Structures are given as structure tokens and as C-alpha cells.
Structure 1
């Protein structure tokens, strides 16, 4: 797969599912980065999105619309009638899928995906899946309906299999099924580090096939601090530390709360640093959320900050704290180092 393909088909289902829902997660950002990279390249780009009513195929203009909505350049439009019916309980998703229908090159019911793709995409098209949303046998069969098509999958990590205790119930089984699809169908697997490659290929070998792989480290754009985007009245007069990431068990926020409890027992109130937790509440035990609610003003959770505000907080921090118990790549420490901010992180192998 050394030569440039005649076309890219980038699966955008995960990114579209996040439109309008606040700050993007790490995996969302990787999918967006691939979209931005491929959209500016010389090879034609198409986007594929699974919706409540089937699949939507986007050309370059449609893919650009997804990018603009994901980056906040353009707002979501109004939901159409199909959106209001099919996503009646998910208004943001209804609006996003309505926008897709308005700019779609083509759309189809799920059983007709192969026919749609073979009709519109050139022979030798490469299907790239970064977000894992459509790693299913039916999608792979449809892609193979394009003559000489290739399948490339980026596997971020195998945490659901290596550490099922850090995943929501049912997720390890779902991930195992998706990895089985990768083993059977992928022509190339992209790994983000040698360590994740070793772990992923061990699981693939157990499934009976290890597709060719390549290690491609994630890029780390230097974030631009924008203090004007910080919440009004945010007190930054005393030293503070920052941690970034969804609040879930593997991120180990409980350790940081323990540290702040011990500091409070040893230091006078005037000497206590602040802790800013930048991230959404994910899934975790109620006890952790109760501790966060009772933490007081010295520990503050700030979800949905724009990138410029995150960079501004990070740039002024004493250090980034990153005590994760398991990670695939871990972008926040690299983003902190790009801003010359010290990093205190777990020694993960």
C-alpha cells in the first residue's frame, strides 16, 4: 500500500455522533485530525456515516461540513422531519444527521451499502476506520464490493481486553467482536506506539490472523492559549495543577483527591494549591462523584472548555497531573510538554 490510492473513504460515524456535545475526546480528536489531513491532500476524499436510517456517503464538501461543525466554525442546522422522527430522543444527533442528508452525495438503507459504495467510489479505494464505530462484518463486505478496495484500521489500544475492570459492563465483549473483524478483514493496522502494537498483535494472533501493521505516532499540535475563553471569575491567583481527561476509573482521579485531602491536613489554607479537573464525568462509582461534589473550591471540575481555554489553564499550571492506570497513547502529557509545562504521570510500560 505504498502508492497513493485513487480515493479515501473515511468513516466519520463516531465524529458525527459527537457533534454539538461539547469538547471532543481523544479518539474524536484523532478522527478529526485524519479528516483534516486527508481533506487537504491530493487524493479525493469521501466520508461514510451510519445514521438511524442507514448510511450516508459524503463527498469532499460534505466532509468539510463535518469538520466545520466539529471545530465550531459552523453550527448544526435544524432537524428535518426524518431526524425528528428517527432521533426523537437525541435532538443533537437528529440535527447532525439532518445536516448530512442535506449535503449527501448518496444515501441508502443498510442492506444496500455495498451497491452504493461500488456505484460511487473508484476501484482501489482505501476505507479508513479510526473511530471503530463501524467495525462490523456487514460494512467490511460492502467495502469489498468496491473492486480492489483495501481496509485500514487504526487500533488505539486494547484496554477493554487488557483491563476489563476499567471498562463499562459489556464493552470488553463488544471490543472483542470488533477486533475479530479487524483480524479477518484489515489489510493494514495502524498502531500508535510499539507497546500498543505488541499488545494488539498478541490479541490478533489469538484470533487467528495478524494483519500487516505500521506504527504511526499521533501528532501533537502545539495548542494556542486563549485566556479570554476562560470562565469569568475563575480564580488563578494561587498556584494550581491541572489534570485532563474523562472522569472514569482508569484515569485514577481518586488518587488526586486523596493527595488533596492529605495536603489539606498538612498545609494552612493559604498555602493550598488548587486542582482543576478538565473533563466530563464518564462512568464511575457514585462514591467518586460524591467526593468531587464535596471537594469544595480547591478542587473544581471544568467540562466543555474550548481548546484555547484548556491551553491557557495548562500554560499557567505548576504541572499537569496524569495518574492514569492504563493508557493507549496519552495525548495530554505531550500537549503539556509542548507548552513547557512539567508533567507528573504514572510510569506505565
Structure 2
């Protein structure tokens, strides 16, 4: 076992004041699990002024705000200057600066870590934003350190057309830095592991370990949200690869339109789709910002989760839906076949008739449901991960 562990929590800090989504929730699960492990835990936070190092006490004090949305307090003048327009993140970094056991400018991160971390520390990076030459080389400079990177998928390289400009180049640089300094790469599926191995500039161990699925307890829906059965739901950032324009096409052609809830914030490179949403298509309702508990309530009452995504990493909403007995309708992707088998209803993107027919059939079937499904759990995930890191 390692003498200690270091977890980069910069991504969680960057989400201050916002609802956690896919990768954020994975980093949150790692923080909880490593705090429960017997080895001492340190946390690393990247800020505009440099890096902050927290010990286990600092991480425990910050846990409610990092993973459950508790208030970070107010930011001081310096924090507000470094994060203009982002008051919650500024407040988070100000609070963490006070709780840090050490700080260092960017160029001195290696010196900070070698002075403060025990020999043989296991370093883990779960959010892609931390996979930089600067951070990885500094971690590797700690004597006896084992560096593990979690790469969730290779979508920026497989489908650059769905990403922000420059994302593919940054991802290529991330892979190069990871290959140069990491000892192990983790990912969530065998399909992703195969793609990562193919993309690495040098051989490196890559292990696919399914993510755990947390089922949040239902919470009352917010005022003004009163779904009318039958209704359908799509969950996730409204970005190009989610292919949600297909659902608008389907809804336009339905003779009887049930409600369709789009639960996610608006993303990037999607102006045509956003323009269509701004025209308020009939029975299509945008609801960003719902809590996990509110999403659980809305999802549990839906006739189906609709996922016309053109690419997915792990797809936590599909696992959650099936675990709650809610059918999933999706495109036939390798990631779904690997992790969900024949449980979803698979349709072709080009078959608009089948999409309309499936929605109409599900809307009319009040007694239908998904086949039984026991989702993967975090205990199994960390049993594997902690044995390797």
C-alpha cells in the first residue's frame, strides 16, 4: 500500500456554485472514497496564482462545499481580482487558501510536492484539466511516487467536430504528458481502454474499470415544475454530440406530443439547436440546474430516458435510468453494448419513423418498464482501483 495519496481536486473547485455533472461526480466519488481509506490523503488545487496543498483535515472541512454545494463564504479582494465574474469559484479558492498547509507558484510545484509528500505517495488525477506537463512531471518528481491518470474517453480525438475549437490539440498534448509521466491509466470501459492504447505515443498500462452508479434519493420538484404524464426526459449538457436536434425533429412530427424535458445546461458550438429551442417548440421544456434529487424524481416518473448521443464515455444517466426501472432509448453505440447489453431500445439515427413509433408506443404504455438491472457500484470500483494505486 502507498504511504499516502494525493488527489487533484481542481475540477471540483472549478464547479463551485454549479450542479455537478459526469466527470465532476467521479472526482467527488474519489474524494469520498480516499477520505475513507486508511492512508493519509492530500489534496491539490490549481489556481491562477499557483497551487494549494491541503491535508486531510482541510479536505474534510471542505467536503460539504466540494461535493454537496455548501456555501464557500465570501471571497476577499485578491480572490475577486483573480476570478472576475466567478464569485463562487473565487470564494472557494479563498477559503482553500486559508486551509492549505502549503502554497507554491506554478513553477515551484515540484519543490512543494517533494518537500511535503511522503516517499511512495500515490498520485491520482481524475479530471482531465489536471493532466498537464506541469502537474504530472511535478508529481513524478516525488521519490517513489506512483502516478495514475483517469482518462474518461477519447471523444475529442474521435469526434473533434463535436468539441470546442482547440480541444483536440489540447487532448493530444494531455495524452503526451500522461504517457511521459504516468505509471497507469484508468478509464471506465474496455472500448475506451482500447481507444486510449491506440492513441498513446508510447505503451502504458491501461485498465478499464466500470464507474459506480449512485442513486440519489428523490427530492420534491421545484416550484413551477409540474410534469404531465406521459413525459420523456433527456439528461446532460446540451452539446453537439448529444444530438438532441433529433428529438426536436421527432417531436415536430408527432401527432400527439408528450412533454419532453431537456435537463442540462447549454453547452457549446450548438447555435442552430439553441435557436430552435429559443422558438419554444411545443411541449419541449428546458430545465437546467436541477439537483440530483430533483432529477431522480423527474427521471423516475418518465416513460423513458432518450439518449440519441453520437458518442459517450460511460453514460451515467443511462445506468441510473435502468436502475430505476425507466426504459432507455439510444443509438446503438459500442459503449452501450458493452455495459448495458440488450437492455436499451436501440434505434438508428437515420430512422426517424422508428424514433416516432418508439416514443408513441412508450407514451401509450403506462405499465411498461425497463428490464431488471443492477448497476455497478463504487465499492467494486475502488476495490480494483485501490489495489493498483
TM-score (norm 1): 0.93
Distance 1:320 1:337 in 2: 9
Asked if residue 198 in structure 1 is aligned to residue 194 in structure 2, the reply is yes
The reply on whether 1:212 has 2:197 as its aligned counterpart is: no
Q: Which whole-Å CA distance do the structure 2 matches of 1:46 and 1:241 have between them? A: 43
The residue aligned with 2:218 is 225
Supply the distance in 1 between the matched residues of 2:69 and 2:216 (Cα, whole angstroms).
17
Deviation digits for residues 62-95 of structure 1, max 9, x if unmatched?
A: 2224421133363011112321222234322211
Q: Report how many aligned residue pairs link the two structures.
A: 334
Alignment pair present for 1:240 and 2:231: yes
Paired residues for 1:107-146 under 5 Å: 107-146=103-142
Work out whether residues 12 and 67 of structure 2, in 8 Å CA contact, stay in contact via their aligned partners in 1. no
2:294 to 295, 298, 309: 309
SS in 2 for 1:97: helix
How far 1:237 moved relative to its partner?
2.8
Give the equivalent residue in structure 2 for 1:281: 266
* In structure 2, C-alpha distance between the alignment counterparts of 1:233 and 1:88, rounded to whole Å: 32
SS of aligned partner of 1:321: strand
Give the corresponding residue for 1:295: 280
Alignment match of 1:60 (pick from 56, 64, 73): 56
Contact 2:7 2:123 in 1 (8 A): yes
Cα distance in 1 for residues equivalent to 2:101 and 2:320: 37
Aligned-CA RMSD value: 1.3
Q: Once the 2 structures are TM-superposed, how far is the Cα of residue 297 of structure 1 from its aligned partner? A: 5.2
Matched, 1:10 2:26: no
CA distance in 1, matches of 2:20, 2:277: 22
SS at match of 2:197: helix
Q: 1:61 deviation in Å?
A: 2.1
Show the counterpart of 1:329: 314
Q: Which runs of 5+ in 1 are unaligned?
A: none
Moved more, 154-163 or 56-65: 56-65
**Which sits farther off after the overlay, 324-333 or 280-289?**
280-289
SS in 1 for 2:153: coil
Q: Which string of whole-angstrom CA distances, capped at 9 and with x for unpartnered residues, describes residues 73-121 of structure 1?
A: 6301111232122223432221111011111111111111111111111
Task: Give the distance between the partners of 1:237 and 1:92, measured in 2 at CA.
Answer: 35
Deviation string, structure 1 residues 119-165 (Cα, Å, up to 9, x no partner):
11110001101102122222222212211111100110000001111
2:241 aligns with: 250
Runs (5+) with no aligned partner, structure 2: 335-389
Superposition misfits of 4+ residues, deviation over 6 angstroms: none
